[in-house]
Amino acid sequence: MEALKYRLNSVESYTPNLKYKVFTLKNYRQLPQIQRLSEKQKFEIDVVSNVLPFKVNNYVVDELIDWDNIPDDPIFILTFPQKKMLKKHHYKRVAAALKSDTEKHHLKQIVDDIRWELEPHPGGQLEHNVPILDGERLQGMQHKYNETVLFFPSQGQTCHAYCTFCFRWAQFTGIEELKFSMRDVQMLIKYIRQHPEITDILFTGGDPLVMKANTLAAYIDALLAANISHIKSIRIGTKSLAYWPYRFLTDADAEDILDLFTKIRKAGKHLAIMAHFNHPRELSTEAVQEAIHKIRKTGAVIRTQSPLLKHINADPNVWKELWTKQVSLGCIPYYMFIARNTGAQHYFSVPIIKAWKIFKQAYQDVSGLARTVRGPSMSAEPGKVQILGVSRIKGEKVIGLRFLQSRDANWALWPFYAKYNDKACWLDELRPAFGEDKFFFENGGQQFILN
Ligand SMILES: *Cc1c(COP(=O)(O)O)cnc(C)c1O
Ligand code: SF4
């Protein structure tokens, strides 16, 4: 009954034909809500958004952000650049350049220098995971774990709004060499044919659902027409449900995108929408609930993931609510990630131990239907490392870890141990326990044998 009620309400309560409006550094001051900010706050946004990408839309501004709760509102922090996202000396350099007429000419150089210092390409993505076809590197793809190949369609390399924590931030700033993109889906198909171990294709970005339905359909139709039997699942990573649910409701091609989903299902493939939700607020509007309902009606399954972020969701109660709400809307909690070492990580990062405590406290209070979530997990260079928890083994306090995904498939699920460290925020800050000098995967990847 409860579910039916929201659906009946929602039909009237989202705005038909709501026009999409984008705000960036250039025009955000036109927003009526911005009048609530002081000149100082606006200047801070100007400074930071010269370095880190800034883009927001009218749905996020009007329906998600609680403007009575500025500057602490989590969705405001998620989308509007904050002073402390830049290190002090970087902030000072850009602020000074903006204030000085002579230095303004050097602004671009100053900004570029800072961007390169912010680790624009974490996890060794650029060097390690680009697949090779007939001796040629396929720049618009990544293939790291056997079963799943990532595909970055060039028109999907932007988003409906930008998250201030985003590890893809570099590609939105136009540091050209860092952009993944590839128009030629035929290369993807040829590569997949040569790799029978691939079962999943993950369309990712940016946000592939920013693309027009017929653009995405061109990729998907070609894939389906190739009729590759070892492809079982198509996944689409997206933030559209959170940032622009009208994509599935009232956009001119909303029905077309849903029809495309149905078509994938009818071709006998599983369709997984990998939806990013960082905060329960993003699941609270009638528009998002109706959009979830419409997607599920196509037979697609919505799985959800998010990093753990200070200032946004570093609280077990927030995760409990997030997962519980997802389950009640028919979504499947999938991953909790640790924030990556890039961009504004210092602003958002939570020590590994604290992340585990938050995860544990939330997990122990939800039903098994929400315990499909795995985490906290670090997408590091050797693989996705899950923090299992703190133990004491023969008197030594240690952190238990394991791979959920790994470059070498055999590394998965073997427990390994790091010295207890309550300050470490990333795998490279951890050292092995028990006086060993290397983790097993740093040791040429010693082979384990089950017997
Ligand atoms: C996370 C990730 C995947 C998908 O992993 P699943 O556990 O199957 O969801 C694939 N490739 C890369 C590079 C990833 O980081
Ligand atoms: S929606 Fe995803 S890719 Fe886009 S800015 Fe946010 S985290 Fe990055």
DSSP letters of 410-437? GGBT--EEEE--SS--SGGG--BSTT-S
Q: Is residue 10 part of a domain?
A: yes
In a domain, 55, yes or no: yes
What value does the CA radius of gyration of the chain take, rounded to a whole number of Å?
22
Residue that is last in its domain, among 117, 146, 161 = 117
Asked if residue 41 and residue 11 are part of one domain, the reply reads no
Whether ligand 1 lies within 6 angstroms of the CB of 144 is answered as yes
CA of 395 to the centre of ligand 1 (A): 36
User: Ligand 2, atom 7: nearest CA belongs to which residue?
Assistant: 166
Q: How far apart are the C-alpha atoms of 173 and 25, rounded to whole Å? A: 12
Nearest CA to ligand 2 atom 1: 239
Same domain, 156 and 204: yes
Kindly state if the Cβ of 312 falls inside 6 Å of ligand 2.
no
Q: Are residues 8 and 27 in the same domain?
A: no
Angle 384-385-389 from CA coordinates, rounded to 5°: 150
6 with 37, same domain?
no
For residue 446, being part of any structural domain is answered with: no
- The pLDDT value recorded for residue 328 is 98
Nearest CA to 402 out of 434, 368, 427, 421 is that of: 427
* 330 lies in some domain: yes
For ligand 1, say whether the CB of 50 is within 6 Å of any of its atoms. Answer: no
Shared-domain flag, residues 90 and 171: no
Is residue 62 domain-shared with residue 150, that is, in the same domain? no
How far, in Å, CA of 172 to CA of 446, rounded? 39
Q: Does 113 share its domain with 204?
A: no
Choosing from 96, 117, 138, the residue where a domain stops is 117
Based on the domain organization, do 111 and 91 belong to the same domain? yes
Quick check: is 402 in a domain?
Answer: no
Provide the residue range defining the domain that includes 49: 19-117
CB 145 less than 6 A from any atom of ligand 1 = yes
Query: Strand 55-57 relative to strand 22-24: parallel, antiparallel, unpaired?
Result: antiparallel
125 lines ligand 1 (CB under 6 A): no
Torsion angle, CA of 303/56/203/352, rounded to 10 degrees?
Answer: -60
Amino acid identity at 322 = L
Q: At what angle do helices 88-99 and 107-117 cross, to 10 degrees?
A: 170
Ligand 2 atom with the smallest distance to the CA of 237 is: 2
Same domain, 37 and 131: no
Residue 385's beta-bridge partner residues? 378, 403
- In contact, 319 and 360? CB cutoff 8 Å: no
Question: What is the predicted pLDDT for the residue at 146?
Answer: 96
In the chain, the number of structural domains is 2
Q: List, run by run, the mean pLDDT of 10-residue segments along the chain (451 residues).
A: 42 72 96 96 96 95 96 97 94 94 83 85 65 87 95 89 83 60 77 97 94 94 96 98 97 97 98 98 96 98 97 98 98 94 79 98 98 97 96 97 95 96 95 95 75 67
Domain CATH number, residue 6: 3.20.20.70
User: What pLDDT shows up at residue 342?
Assistant: 63
pLDDT at residue 255, as a whole number: 97
Least distant ligand from the CA of 146: 1
Same domain, 254 and 138: yes
Q: Ligand 2 pocket, 131 CB below 6 A? A: no
Pair (332, 191) in one structural domain: yes
Answer yes or no: do 297 and 203 share one domain. Answer: yes
